[in-house]
Amino acid sequence: MQEGRSCRYYCATSQGVRCVFMAPEEWRARQHALREYCVNGGSGCSVKARFLSRISKGRFLGEAASGTGRGRVG
Protein backbone atom coordinates (compact mmCIF):
# COMPACT_ATOMS: atom_id res chain seq x y z
CA MET A 1 0.00 0.00 0.00
CA GLN A 2 1.14 3.52 -0.70
CA GLU A 3 1.71 5.44 2.49
CA GLY A 4 1.16 9.13 3.15
CA ARG A 5 -2.24 9.80 1.56
CA SER A 6 -5.58 9.16 3.22
CA CYS A 7 -8.56 7.72 1.40
CA ARG A 8 -10.88 10.49 0.21
CA TYR A 9 -13.77 8.73 2.00
CA TYR A 10 -12.00 8.73 5.40
CA CYS A 11 -13.26 12.09 6.64
CA ALA A 12 -14.10 14.14 9.69
CA THR A 13 -17.81 13.84 10.48
CA SER A 14 -19.96 14.93 13.39
CA GLN A 15 -19.28 11.44 14.80
CA GLY A 16 -15.49 11.76 14.46
CA VAL A 17 -13.07 10.74 11.70
CA ARG A 18 -14.37 7.62 9.98
CA CYS A 19 -15.19 5.94 6.67
CA VAL A 20 -18.23 7.74 5.31
CA PHE A 21 -19.53 4.51 3.72
CA MET A 22 -20.21 3.04 7.16
CA ALA A 23 -22.60 3.94 9.96
CA PRO A 24 -20.81 5.26 13.05
CA GLU A 25 -21.70 2.12 15.04
CA GLU A 26 -20.33 -0.19 12.34
CA TRP A 27 -17.17 1.91 12.03
CA ARG A 28 -16.51 1.66 15.77
CA ALA A 29 -16.79 -2.12 15.56
CA ARG A 30 -14.57 -2.51 12.47
CA GLN A 31 -12.18 0.44 12.56
CA HIS A 32 -9.17 -1.52 13.83
CA ALA A 33 -9.32 -3.86 10.83
CA LEU A 34 -10.00 -1.12 8.26
CA ARG A 35 -8.04 1.96 9.39
CA GLU A 36 -4.81 0.83 7.67
CA TYR A 37 -6.59 0.96 4.31
CA CYS A 38 -8.00 4.41 5.11
CA VAL A 39 -4.69 6.02 5.98
CA ASN A 40 -2.96 4.46 2.97
CA GLY A 41 -5.18 5.87 0.23
CA GLY A 42 -7.94 3.25 0.34
CA SER A 43 -6.05 0.78 -1.84
CA GLY A 44 -7.30 -2.76 -1.24
CA CYS A 45 -10.25 -1.71 0.92
CA SER A 46 -13.19 -4.09 0.54
CA VAL A 47 -15.71 -1.49 1.77
CA LYS A 48 -14.63 1.04 -0.87
CA ALA A 49 -14.49 -1.62 -3.61
CA ARG A 50 -18.02 -2.84 -2.82
CA PHE A 51 -19.44 0.68 -2.87
CA LEU A 52 -17.72 1.66 -6.12
CA SER A 53 -18.83 -1.60 -7.73
CA ARG A 54 -22.45 -0.94 -6.80
CA ILE A 55 -22.23 2.61 -8.18
CA SER A 56 -20.75 1.42 -11.48
CA LYS A 57 -23.58 -1.10 -11.86
CA GLY A 58 -26.18 1.52 -10.94
CA ARG A 59 -27.48 -0.69 -8.12
CA PHE A 60 -26.97 1.74 -5.26
CA LEU A 61 -28.55 4.67 -7.06
CA GLY A 62 -31.43 2.53 -8.32
CA GLU A 63 -32.20 1.26 -4.83
CA ALA A 64 -32.24 4.77 -3.42
CA ALA A 65 -34.53 6.05 -6.17
CA SER A 66 -36.99 3.19 -5.79
CA GLY A 67 -37.04 3.37 -2.01
CA THR A 68 -35.88 -0.23 -1.59
CA GLY A 69 -32.40 0.64 -0.30
CA ARG A 70 -31.68 1.14 3.35
CA GLY A 71 -29.17 3.95 2.84
CA ARG A 72 -26.23 1.70 3.72
CA VAL A 73 -23.67 -0.11 1.65
CA GLY A 74 -23.46 -3.79 2.28
Helices of type H across the chain: 24-39, 46-57, 59-66
The answer, yes or no, to whether residue 14 has pLDDT greater than 70, is yes
| CA dihedral for 28, 35, 15, 46, sign (positive or negative) | negative
* Angstrom distance (rounded) from CA 16 to CA 74: 21
Query: Which pLDDT does position 52 carry in this prediction?
Result: 87
Query: Which pLDDT does position 26 carry in this prediction?
Result: 95
Percent of the chain with pLDDT over 70: 73
Query: Which pLDDT does position 63 carry in this prediction?
Result: 52
Query: Which pLDDT does position 41 carry in this prediction?
Result: 92
User: Is the full-model pTM beyond 0.85?
Assistant: no
**8 Å CB contact between 14 and 48:** no
